[in-house]
Chain A
Amino acid sequence: MPVYINSIGSVSAQKTFDNSLFLEEIVRYNDTVLEIIAPNYKDYIPPAAARRMAKGIKMSTVSAKTAMIEAGMEEDEIDAIIVGTGLGCIGDSEKFVSDILDNDEQFLTPTRFIQSSHNTVAGQIALGMGCKGHNFTYVHSAISFESAVMDAKMQLENEEAKNILVGGVDELVDHHVNTHRLIGHIKQEPVETMSVLTSGTKGAVFSEGAHFFTLSNEKRSSCYSELLAVETFNTLAEDQVAAKTKSFLSENGMGPDAIDVIILGYNGDVEFDGYYDTLATALFKDTAQVYYKHLSGEFDTASGFGFWLGNKLLKQQRIPDAVRLNSVPANSAQNALIYNQYRGENHSLTLLRKC
């Protein structure tokens, strides 16, 4: 059975929560950490429910609702909710642990505890929708989102489900940022958005976001693309990336020349961007190249933004100037390949075909 991406939803450091827009206006930063551009949550979530929601849950709820509405999908049509997250609702986890330390393990309140588990997002979305189907959360660093997509793909292919809501979410909080700054994973100096790739420094610009999609084995009028394949690799040496990509494409009956657009997860970290160079300068040097983490920032599920971008550009048949890495045109783009990794680990390849 084919797997179609029928709709998308995004809350990110760019104005992506409105699906009618496609990076026409770029929000430019000069910073090391980017917060999301939040929609008006009251337009999506009743205040009584929102008051107990962590930021990650609010972002995800908006993103999931956007995708559901775009696909014209009723809540009872969703057979499963599958979410990928690197750190879950880390804000409440941190507060809960702080409460334990500050109050000598006494006076622990339920709300922070409830939101301290990684599967809170998938659970809260299901509660909101009354969905009693398969509810699962994948927590695996930079391939958390792809793991969720892979699970959904297998369930749809095996006809275990017809419609699945799949998403990736991560939120920024102070302690997490401070820790990553301390160990040099966040850039030391602010970088202007369009200079991230050429910063020549170590570390990345960190951010947060939520990206949700409805995946189905039936194409709807809102369809963006067909999900052909997803593969993940825990570890790969730089010189193995090209060969793995070739064999991934070959397994799907394609060669590199069948790819019209390649979406690369460059984050401006001089230590690890070389992985992307191996594809950009050789295998796909004559292919239209796109990057996005200068706009979305880096986080465990940032590749959800890449997935959103791939779907958007296949459907609209347009590459916004702000994400272009080279000037190769992508006329009548049919196939898009997304490659992502973080600090040389947790690599993923995702292949999309225009609907």
Chain B
Amino acid sequence: MSELKQELKEKIIEQLNLEDVAIEEIKDTDPLFGEGLGLDSIDALELIVMLDKDYGIKLADPKQGKSIFESIETMAGYIKEHRSR
């Protein structure tokens, strides 16, 4: 699980061009949207595509994203349970 969390942090920094953010600055429970990393709705779409492409998870209802993308912790938990690749 910790490997997956590390991998997610790397992917998020790379794919969302968070040039000024270091991996160690992202805490597992930090909120990704709003006050935490400050991601926005376009980033949410990027994350949905990432789940599909890298882990084979298709979100049937985009509203699910709100709870899944709450933090690295919740993302990793969801991926661990639902991944097909």
| Cα–Cα distance between A107 and B53 once the two chains are bound (Å) | 6
B17 in contact with A52 (CB, 8 Å): yes
Select the residue from A103, A111, A114 with max chain B CB neighbours within 10 A: A111
Q: How far is the CB of A67 from chain B (nearest CB, A)?
A: 26
B41-63 Cβ-contact flags toward A at 8 Å (1 or 0): 01001100100110000000000
Bound-complex Cα distance A110 to B45 (A): 7
A53's nearest neighbour on chain B, judged by CB, is B17
- On chain A, the residues within 8 Å of B38 by CB distance are 48
Measured CA separation A108–B38 after assembly (Å): 22
CB contact between A107 and one of B17, B42, B49 (< 8 Å): that residue: B49
Report B-chain residues with C-beta under 8 Å of the C-beta of A103: 53
| CB contact under 8 A between A107 and B52, given known A48-B38, A52-B42 | yes
A47 at the interface (CB under 8 A from B): yes
Q: In the complex, how many residue pairs between chain A and chain B have their CB atoms under 8 Å apart? A: 26
Residues of chain A within 8 A of B49, CB atoms compared: 107-109
Chain B interface category by residue count: 10 to 19
Report chain A residues within 8 Å CB of B17.
Answer: 51-52
The one of A47, A48, A52, A109 in contact with B45, judged by C-beta atoms closer than 8 angstroms, is A109
Chain A residue numbers with a CB within 8 Å of B16 are 51
Is the Cβ of B42 less than 8 Å from the Cβ of A111? yes
Which B33-81 residues sit within 8 Å CB-CB of chain A?
A: 38, 42, 45-46, 49, 52-53
B42: chain A residues within 8 A (beta carbon): 52, 110-111, 114
Nearest CB in chain B: distance from A282 CB, A: 53
Contact B53 A106 (CB under 8 A): yes
B19 contacts chain A at the CB level, 8 A cutoff = yes
Distance A111 CA – B42 CA, assembled complex (angstroms): 7
- B42's nearest neighbour on chain A, judged by CB, is A110
B20 within 8 A of A: yes
Shortest C-beta distance, A42 to chain B (Å), equals 9
B18 interface residue per 8 A CB criterion: yes
Residues 1-26 of B, flagged 1 when their CB comes within 8 A of A and 0 if not, give 00000000000000111111000000
Known A-B contacts A48-B38, A103-B53; A109 and B20 likewise in contact (beta carbons under 8 Å): no
Task: Return A186 CB to nearest CB of chain B, in Å.
Answer: 29
Q: Residues of B contacting A106 with CB < 8 Å?
A: 52-53
